[in-house]
Structure 1
Amino acid sequence: GDIYEPHFIKLLFETENIDIVLHFTAQTHVDLSFVHALEFTYVNVHGTHVLVSDAYEARIEKFIYVSTDEVYGGSLDEEFDESSPKQPTNPYASSKAAAECFVQSYWEKYKFPVVITWSSNVYGLHQYPEKVIPKCISLLQHIKKCCIHGSGLQTRNFLYSANVVEAFLTVLKKGKPGEIYNIGTNFEMSIVQLAKELIQLIKETNSESEMENWVDYVDDRPSNNMRYPMKSEKIHGLGWRPKVSWKEGIKKTIEWYKENFHNWKNAEKAL
């Protein structure tokens, strides 16, 4: 079934004895959101409204809505905290921001125990290779160049998946209803730096000229924000901080894709 099918979702709540919802479901590929904006709106906004409505009717104990740092829009210097205004600049981020409004309204009107999280870019094992890190790893392993939008000077904050799992467990146990929590990291890297580091690790070269041979620069996508810097003191106050370092996390991720990419059905299509 699908998240936007109310009869299916209602049946799940009636038959599966669900008491907690962590809502990760979404269309998330920013590039595709420009081409299939209505699909993103339908799944992310309508689907969320269906889910939170049926969860409310089922009187569950806590509803955690997983959003994204992209709802803030970009910033070159200002660090976003949970009170910063939402200024999304692409259809994906706009759909996530709109869905947040529906979720938040159930707290405002009914005091239904919802919690919203905004997280930095997540990477790690098992991630579908449409995202930048697994895509670059997989392309390099297939003797293809990393594809870089524009100059590649856009920076992103990367969080290893195990760190994010710990964050969600923390919010699940300690997060206060009606609140928003940033799940961020101070580790920041430009996309071109990222590509070169992956080339260095996978192709085992320190030569700048050789690394450039493995990079393919293409036209930038529309409204490609330069940075999403976030303050995360609020969730730090609940006892969470990222434990797995970038060096450790990226090593584990590269090793996993070396061993497992060929087992993925249709994964080649993402390249």
Structure 2
Amino acid sequence: MDGMVRPVCVFRECSKYLANYLQAPTSLESRFFSDNGQWENAPLLKGTTKFEALVDAKNILITGGAGFIASWLVRHLVLTYSTEYNIISFDKLDYCSSLNNTRMLDSRNNFRFFHGDVTNPTDVRRCLKLHKIDTIFHFAAQSHVDLSFGNSYNFTKNNVYGTHVLLESAKEAGIRRFIHISTDEVYGEVDKDADDLLEHSALAPTNPYAATKAAAEMLVTAYSRSYNLPVIIVRSNNVYGPHQFPEKVIPKFVNLLQRRRRLIIHGDGQHSRRYIYAGDAADAFDTIFHRGHFGQVYNIGSVDEVTNLELCMKLLAVFDIPQTEAGDWIEHTKDRPFNDRRYAVDGTKLRQLGWEQKITFEEGLRITADWYRDFPNWWGDITNVLTPFPVIMGQSAVPGRLRTREESPVLKATSANASRNSPEVTATKKRKIDVTM
């Protein structure tokens, strides 16, 4: 296709490709590169929107493209606009990324993967030049709030400095569109009776992760005003769905139930969040790309707000576990050092562009649970991830790598207690989700 530069490689020989062409570090864990075959049977999940192609966009870079949310947009754009756009997935393959999320696209002529780090100017500039990039979707970020309390420097490096590197490179390359993906957490906590926050509401982040995302937004805005870089900022509610690394609450709880283990809730369980299915989020990004206006901010606001306790009850229903048995399946633990009670944003501005939320929360939960049932080994061994609080190593070849069971007596105790105390899932006459592994 026009403008697409292709290295000579076979993507299914990924380790050879990365070693020879992308010079992948040998320290990365094997699961990033391994091909366990599960992706071959995975459905090609994407959004539903399609627009008339933009005349000034052709080669689109998506940072963090092997991660959860970004890979949904990668698949959507590659499959929906097969002749209109070339999609380059740029990812350093951190612990929550996997080539399996986009491996099913390897044979597509309009898809390429570039192994690089947004904090490395050489990687970024090389990719922009090699693939003649004109549009950037910037998803790449450290995003686990719990980890940000114990590893905040790494969040600043990746989320703030990485964004700065990308902006400077975009300015030099004459990028025509820079779409920056942020979060609703930059607004901070919203009182229960308060109005939903609008795009011009003040930013008041309360945790290290949210603070780095707000700082990154300030850089994006500064480059727009100082250098006339054409930017759009997107702030989304919590996204969930298939392909999500199980450190986040919904896939974690699904995987715990599949292993017949209790759901551990931080605090009293009354903290609430709004959730949006990944397919609807992909539609939102596609809509903003084709219809959004430069210099604007768009909230992706969901209508599905639930407390953590309500989320547990909905998931128990998905697994056909009676509410009368909820006490056997739900356990409370200490809260985070600080945990916002609620986030709430108004998505009217995005809806005025034509976007709509299509998947109900109950439907999305069932789709997600079914996917993890069908692909239980997608992420390899996730035992260490299914703990109430993540434990990270002081030094690690892979930033943010979770400690192994041998390295952490806390994990040993947690696993032992879970195995000892977890009830068996009761069989019912309703629709079943297999809880065996």
Report the TM-score, using the length of structure 1 for normalisation: 0.97
Contact 1:128 1:267 in 2 (8 A): no
Moved over 3 A (4+): none
Higher RCO structure, 1 or 2 (CA under 8 Å, sep 6+): 1
1:91 aligns with 2:208: yes
Aligned to 2:321: 205
Cα distance, 1:186 vs. partner? 1.5
Q: Equivalents in 2 of 1:269, 1:207: separation in Å?
A: 28
Aligned partner (choices 133, 141, 145) of residue 262 of structure 2: 145
1:101 aligns with 2:218: yes
Cα distance, 1:111 vs. partner? 1.5
Aligned to 2:126: 11
List gaps (5 residues or longer) in structure 1: none
The one-letter code sitting in structure 1 at the alignment partner of 2:162 is G
Aligned to 1:159: 276
Q: Equivalents in 2 of 1:196, 1:244: separation in Å?
A: 19
- Alignment of structure 1 residues 241-256 onto 2, 5 Å: 241-256=356-371
Q: Equivalents in 2 of 1:101, 1:122: separation in Å?
A: 23
Contact 1:67 1:116 in 2 (8 A): yes
Report the number of matched residues: 269
What secondary structure sits across from 1:261 in the alignment?
A: coil
Aligned to 1:177: 294
Cα distance, 1:196 vs. partner? 1.6
The one-letter code sitting in structure 2 at the alignment partner of 1:232 is G
What secondary structure sits across from 2:358 in the alignment?
A: coil
Contact 1:74 1:225 in 2 (8 A): yes
User: Cα deviation per residue 1:94-136 (whole Å; 9 max; x = unaligned)?
Assistant: 0000000001111111221110000000000010000000000
1:123 aligns with 2:243: no
The one-letter code sitting in structure 1 at the alignment partner of 2:237 is S
Aligned partner (choices 149, 157, 177) of residue 42 of structure 1: 157
1:236 aligns with 2:342: no
What secondary structure sits across from 1:159 in the alignment?
A: strand
The one-letter code sitting in structure 2 at the alignment partner of 1:173 is H
Aligned to 2:381: 266
CA RMSD after TM alignment: 1.0
What secondary structure sits across from 2:179 in the alignment?
A: strand
Aligned to 1:51: 166
The percent identity for this pair of structures is 42
Cα distance, 1:60 vs. partner? 1.3
What secondary structure sits across from 1:176 in the alignment?
A: coil
Aligned partner (choices 20, 25, 33) of residue 135 of structure 2: 20
The one-letter code sitting in structure 2 at the alignment partner of 1:205 is I
List gaps (5 residues or longer) in structure 2: 1-115, 387-437
Q: Equivalents in 2 of 1:265, 1:205: separation in Å?
A: 27
User: Cα deviation per residue 1:216-261 (whole Å; 9 max; x = unaligned)?
Assistant: 2110102211111111111111111111111221111010011112
Q: Equivalents in 2 of 1:34, 1:228: separation in Å?
A: 19
- Pair 118,263 (structure 1): closer, same or farther in 2 beyond 3 Å: closer
What secondary structure sits across from 2:331 in the alignment?
A: strand
